[in-house]
Structure 1
Amino acid sequence: MELFDYTVLRLIWWALLGILLIAFAIMDGFDFGIAMLQPYVARNDVERRVLLNVIGPVWEGNQVWFILGGGAIFAAWPMLYAVSFSGFYLAMFLILLALIVRPVAIAFRGKVDNERWRRIWDWTFVVSGFVPSLIFGVAFGNLLLGVPFHFDQTLRLTYEGNLFGLLNPFSLLCGLISLLMIAMQGGTFLALKSEEPIAGRAVKATSVAAIAYILLFTVAGVWMAYSIKGYVIEAPMISDGPSNPLLKAVSRADGAWLANYTSHPWTILAPVVAYIGALGTLIFARKRSTMLAFAVSSLTITGTICTAGFSLFPFLMPSSSNPQSSLTVWDASSSPTTLFIMLVAAVIFVPIIIAYTSWVFHVMRGPVTAEQIKTGSHNLY
């Protein structure tokens, strides 16, 4: 058990939370991306049905990572869960609403042979990909700015913000970066799983998204470095201490979000991987190396999320209204027993999920063609 003391367990679950977020963004990200790209890549009813059948066998399974991520936050980081679902309640509601209407749009679209009916559900499908992709990016932007919440001495939570307060310029920039990142993921997967002319349009969309991503990711980095005050813990924290965020002193300082890149130089790999992934996506997509394009697009997602995580560490959710109330890896977790039991469960069940998911993608390998849709073979919608 010495390998799993409280400090190590907290670090493991911080890393696992990041892994689950990355897995969700990679797997469900291409579903969202394909939905967003539908108006451009699909020009008629058959092509729209191709898109639905590309994701049809896998989209439900991809949402497992979202459920796992939410469960991990609830059980491993209960204070983070409480603040997130209180402060971001309306934003979370919009995400859940989008996730609810997506399967409705997919399933209902073909129930009535009417062009207007199909158009309504087609645009519902587009919105169901756009909204979560934007809001998740906006949420990460607000984490870097600080969230307006605080605790009293009995740890009762007060949140002072609102939905429109989350839509500030920097967070909207982060939302655009998220949209572009997810569009790249959707475009590369669609190019992999479809034929011309859909694949060619997907490659063009991916190329534009990759170039825009590189530019906006750079702008966000410069903005964060020179115009946004980060958070600093003023004295060394006890990493295996009680989960009470009020037992520390926190201040704000210019350039504080870059401190980890100086003290731990290896963390610079995260933004480097993000840039390499985006450039690789642009190159491989244009060369029609679709499998490689999808792989390096996934690296872009990994590098982007890791960049945010490494910048924030050890903070999980900084507080702008009372920095002392900020939640960190060291003071917002569940008990050691809970973290250990959850770790055992994760070690058992996550490999099973990965194995099953891999089997599904193996069985459903190969492109979805317009001919299959027209003849009614091998299609769901």
Structure 2
Amino acid sequence: MRIALVIPELHKQGGTERCMASLGEALAARGHHLTVFSASKSDAVLPAATWYRVPMIRRPHALRFASFLVMNSLVRLAVHVLKRERFDVVHSTGPDVLRPGVATFHACSSAFARRLWSDRATPGWQRWSRLRRWSNILAYRMISCCERYVLERGARRVVTISGTLSREIHEAYRLGDDRLTVIPDGVDLAEFGGDARGAGRRLRARLGISSDETVVLFVGHNWERKGLETLVSALALVREGEPGVRPLLLVAGGRGRTSYEEGVRARLGGAVRFLATRRDMGQIYGAADLCVLPTVHEPFGLPTLEAMASGVAVIVSRCAGVAETITDGVDGVLLDEPGDATELARTMRPLLLDADLRGKLGEQARKTAAQFNWSEIASRVEDIYRTLLCPSSREGDD
């Protein structure tokens, strides 16, 4: 098939971008010809694909969305008219194309706008300015208008990455169940499987972390939504209740909040490392003993699946879409109340004390994650493509 992927940026950082890049690679490996329409693309991603650069205003968020929506339509029209290129399927992320063949939604803009409206700042955090907060609320409200059109009538098929997100979209737009198909994010087993532990030991040595320290990993940029404060409070409770337990907290992503970081160091007796955004996440997971995501809202939660593929025991909130892949107590542990530090401390304590229990959960987690390899996910996406195609016609989306 000739497939057009339309996405503002395509690279291996960030959730949506990394997932679409990995899906594109899996589709290319299955013999499909891909053309990418994006504002930027990593040279390492789909090097054999045709890439058409789409001009885009990067800030503020509203102009970023609007400029990419308009310009990718114009660039695709120019390619169609001047180069006579046509595609079997146009596959977009969310509402970036008004009439795509397939639109994969990784979030619901209407829900984000509501959450921004009602969010309360955690004490000690560097909070968005009032102007920026209102700018984002208005941007998501604007995007939700296009989102509604794409969901209700624009896209021929709509894919969501979890049942959690499907329910959120249904609540916002009252769509029929037949409009949404759930295909979860996949995981790169070559990057996050294999000798993750060996790479992790080498990283520990470089970071000066001893082999007998228990490392608790948190991955994410939006610390408030993903629950870092709850995790810090829970670790402080564990330290109080178990004087002999001194886990080291590793935070990957979201640097730049100096006052909050200093406060965390004081509360955890210095047992914390802030690593900012990293490209060597396979090694980061390999260095961890436990990965925790006490998020209050997460359409999926790719880092949890990557940790599972690396053989790391995980604790994750039931609010995350990735929780749908986990059997509580078998290949992970699920939290009922993600904002309850006491519950999280109680849940972590046996895992911090028992390396064998962590090992059993991690091994089963690896087996579960293997079911979500990108080749399998690409096969499911292919099935959707085939339902769109008729032998006598091709699709020419606007």
* Structure with more contact order per residue of length (Cα contacts < 8 Å, sep ≥ 6): 1
If each structure's strand is expressed as a fraction of its own residues, which one has the higher value? 2
If each structure's helix is expressed as a fraction of its own residues, which one has the higher value? 1
Using structure 1 for the length normalisation, give the TM-score.
0.25
Using structure 2 for the length normalisation, give the TM-score.
0.24
